[in-house]
Structure 1
């Protein structure tokens, strides 16, 4: 009962603050979409369309009161809208499992479209920081229980350690591990540059502790995807580090500590990476990827959402089943093969175009941050988002989360960061007061405290 009342209070707080600063309604949508209060509450929120309601208010609030300095129509917006249109066309015209296809389109289309909407709303550095903080702390409800349980008593493969059960979204171990690791660079960005939560010894300890729990969460799922993500995360940070020798020493110590403190079950589970040709889970992925390539060679436009439902995979024979085992409807288990199998070669081309555009946008933003005095925050933000994107793309090679929000949020934030960097740099170059304020990520005029923190420039 108290949990439900608390969640209702938080939801209403987003609605109330949205009256002062309309972009807070979009933050509320991110919180609902990530925290999933409708799955956790016992009363009211579990019977009310909380996501649709606050999403409609977010769009309405922007159109009615927040259309200042909109982001220019660029490559991110063009590719995202083209992709939204293409996945709709494949659902209408090429779906091989129409009923299932429309069920997935219903939420996947909203994810893609909201990604195009985000750069219109989040225009200042404070707003971008608020988006990141909202997403990190909303996701924490899922990885904190898993990480803390792992640190206290150990984890386990396939165990329901979090607050959401099931085999999808944050209830699925590989996805939970990937998102926990993806968010670590953003946690350290908030620790170093956060203004909504000012830096202090207490907040330093909080953010560092949060990162430690995230790593524990990834390990505690026993998902091999988590190990891959951890290696990629460490490698990306090391490549960007100015102290590479120290980084190697710290990395070696961390690796030894993980190996020492993890259980034999975890080590046994991870060691099966080398046995991909005999281990059912890994071999099944390879076989379904082979099927996907054969399918799109005959169906270049894909088979619509959930097209994997028509596949038929034959595992090689063994002592128990000499003639092999036939499995039907095995999922893609990869963002790349998911998009390719469902939306064909045009779909994967648009998807890879969005990935490339995001990388280039962040590279341009980092360049602007380096050469513009007082914009070091932008450089560090671009770096953090790049590392997060690399981690998610590496983990995504083995999990089918191509249309879940985490990847699309990074695409959108990449666009937000570049648009902000260009505006702030131009304003600084012109020498006006708004430029100086924009560089610091705050409004130029004196406003009441709440408005100063929340309103856009």
Structure 2
């Protein structure tokens, strides 16, 4: 039944996508982030829904009267350079015969990010993007939160199989990223029960993230909540809610959860943590030895034997930063960090300049929450191999599109004429005397 529902939604949407390409953006993010077909048990699991939607989007853009272009900014320019550099490093990969599959996967993500950036041109498109990301990931958060409450948090929460977020660590970070976005959407909802449903969803997503038993997610959650309070307009209310909710959440978690989190203080005794550090050292040594890095697919015994302090302890990078460093070298890491910094600075620019335009208050609120989401990703991503996770790139697009709208609003504002106060030293203009008055004053 699930297979037929997903198929009906996808094929039923194709005429709308062909007529309105930005509707394809919604369907693409939904199918690629949520992976609803993975919830089925039949033909839908392996059906190429994403390729069908992507192909329809591209045809719609080509045959549409409106011209779609990606805005050229410092962020998008750096993004394009990053893509080019990844292609270059793939040519000089340690295992050139093995990088093809991963390169195609990454280029699909980057290519569709460009397509999404071309289509997001209005406020409604930006909010559709945010809503789609929230619903796609929030579905698993709400379900996982309910499961945690029913089971007494005795079991871990996992993500959908075969996706970027299938692991407990990955789904936890994804949920942390959408909680600030849900807070932004909360400000847009007018209906009382809609607000209550969104608040409940935020709490359930938070519970599901904690119940993943992920130590990296626990650190990211703490950073995200602090920054959420810092960026919130109602700091007193937000602070009170956090003070009330955090102790309750910690109290309901079982003893094994606390034992798991406590290992952060004794990471030297934890094989998993030391394995990650070994992988980080391997990436560091590899980048120092090879200018172009190792390319994709470097996590194997051969590479670890050459560059890792403990050759037999083979692990994935478990860090977006060391993942980029090992695969694309120091230049790749510099481009990636520059992309993150420029995206952050774009949000700061939006917040600063939206103060001049009351009608763009929504843009400032969105930029704040996008920054909080990015911070959660940057902190949690330090412990996960999610450098090519598509959601951060979609949120980057939302940030860029919001800035473009604010810039357009600033250009449309006509400056008022400046009225200068008269100086006390100004010489008064000469008084003009009418001709008849002069005649009366002349002597006869």
Give TM-score scaled by structure 1 length. 0.85
Tell me how far apart the structure 2 counterparts of residues 421 and 153 of structure 1 sit (CA, whole Å).
Answer: 47
Query: In the TM superposition, what are the counterparts of 1:304-315 in structure 2 within 5 Å?
Result: 304-309=295-300, 310-312=303-305
Question: What is aligned with 2:190?
Answer: 199
Question: What is aligned with 2:142?
Answer: 144
Gaps of 5+ in 1: 317-324, 432-457
**Residue aligned with 1:169, SS:** coil
Question: What is aligned with 1:445?
Answer: none
Tell me how far apart the structure 2 counterparts of residues 382 and 72 of structure 1 sit (CA, whole Å).
Answer: 18
Please say if residues 154 and 220 of structure 1, whose CA atoms lie closer than 8 Å, have aligned partners that are also in contact: no
Question: What is aligned with 2:170?
Answer: 175
Indicate how the Cα distance of structure 1 residues 66 and 381 shifts in structure 2: closer, same or farther if over 3 A, else same.
farther
**Residue aligned with 2:128, SS:** helix
Indicate how the Cα distance of structure 1 residues 61 and 19 shifts in structure 2: closer, same or farther if over 3 A, else same.
closer
Query: In the TM superposition, what are the counterparts of 1:212-231 in structure 2 within 5 Å?
Result: 212-231=203-222
Indicate how the Cα distance of structure 1 residues 327 and 429 shifts in structure 2: closer, same or farther if over 3 A, else same.
farther
Please say if residues 10 and 53 of structure 2, whose CA atoms lie closer than 8 Å, have aligned partners that are also in contact: no
Query: In the TM superposition, what are the counterparts of 1:147-162 in structure 2 within 5 Å?
Result: 147-155=145-153, 159=156, 161-162=158-159
Question: What is aligned with 1:165?
Answer: 161
Tell me how far apart the structure 2 counterparts of residues 416 and 175 of structure 1 sit (CA, whole Å).
Answer: 27
Please say if residues 155 and 222 of structure 1, whose CA atoms lie closer than 8 Å, have aligned partners that are also in contact: no
Q: CA deviation at 1:242?
A: 4.6
Please say if residues 282 and 304 of structure 2, whose CA atoms lie closer than 8 Å, have aligned partners that are also in contact: yes
Question: What is aligned with 2:343?
Answer: 358
Q: CA deviation at 1:40?
A: 2.7
Please say if residues 154 and 254 of structure 2, whose CA atoms lie closer than 8 Å, have aligned partners that are also in contact: no
Query: In the TM superposition, what are the counterparts of 1:36-435 in structure 2 within 5 Å?
Result: 36-65=35-64, 67-68=66-67, 70-92=69-91, 94-155=92-153, 159=156, 161-162=158-159, 164-165=160-161, 169-193=164-188, 198-244=189-235, 247-309=238-300, 310-312=303-305, 327-429=312-414
Indicate how the Cα distance of structure 1 residues 68 and 420 shifts in structure 2: closer, same or farther if over 3 A, else same.
farther
Query: CA-atom RMSD, angstroms?
Result: 2.4
Q: CA deviation at 1:245?
A: 5.2
Tell me how far apart the structure 2 counterparts of residues 63 and 369 of structure 1 sit (CA, whole Å).
Answer: 34
Please say if residues 216 and 380 of structure 2, whose CA atoms lie closer than 8 Å, have aligned partners that are also in contact: yes
Tell me how far apart the structure 1 counterparts of residues 140 and 164 of structure 2 sit (CA, whole Å).
Answer: 10
**Residue aligned with 2:187, SS:** helix
Q: CA deviation at 1:396?
A: 0.3
Q: CA deviation at 1:248?
A: 4.2
Tell me how far apart the structure 1 counterparts of residues 65 and 50 of structure 2 sit (CA, whole Å).
Answer: 20
Aligned pair count? 414
Q: CA deviation at 1:263?
A: 0.5
Question: What is aligned with 2:441?
Answer: none
Please say if residues 275 and 313 of structure 2, whose CA atoms lie closer than 8 Å, have aligned partners that are also in contact: no
Q: CA deviation at 1:289?
A: 1.0
Tell me how far apart the structure 1 counterparts of residues 158 and 114 of structure 2 sit (CA, whole Å).
Answer: 34
Indicate how the Cα distance of structure 1 residues 161 and 352 shifts in structure 2: closer, same or farther if over 3 A, else same.
closer
Q: CA deviation at 1:420?
A: 1.7
Tell me how far apart the structure 2 counterparts of residues 266 and 315 of structure 1 sit (CA, whole Å).
Answer: 31
Indicate how the Cα distance of structure 1 residues 138 and 394 shifts in structure 2: closer, same or farther if over 3 A, else same.
same
**Residue aligned with 1:311, SS:** helix
Q: CA deviation at 1:313?
A: 9.9
Gaps of 5+ in 2: 417-444
Tell me how far apart the structure 1 counterparts of residues 60 and 261 of structure 2 sit (CA, whole Å).
Answer: 48
Q: CA deviation at 1:204?
A: 0.3
Please say if residues 23 and 62 of structure 1, whose CA atoms lie closer than 8 Å, have aligned partners that are also in contact: no
The superposition leaves residues 340-368 of structure 1 with CA deviations (integer Å, 9 ceiling, x where unpaired) of 00000111111111111101111112222
The superposition leaves residues 58-105 of structure 1 with CA deviations (integer Å, 9 ceiling, x where unpaired) of 12212321644745322222212211111111112x212334422211
Query: In the TM superposition, what are the counterparts of 1:5-44 in structure 2 within 5 Å?
Result: 5-44=4-43
Tell me how far apart the structure 1 counterparts of residues 7 and 314 of structure 2 sit (CA, whole Å).
Answer: 39
Tell me how far apart the structure 1 counterparts of residues 140 and 183 of structure 2 sit (CA, whole Å).
Answer: 19
Larger Rg computed on CA atoms: 2
Give TM-score scaled by structure 2 length. 0.87
The superposition leaves residues 23-50 of structure 1 with CA deviations (integer Å, 9 ceiling, x where unpaired) of 1012111111012134233444334321
Tell me how far apart the structure 2 counterparts of residues 247 and 143 of structure 1 sit (CA, whole Å).
Answer: 21
Tell me how far apart the structure 2 counterparts of residues 265 and 46 of structure 1 sit (CA, whole Å).
Answer: 35
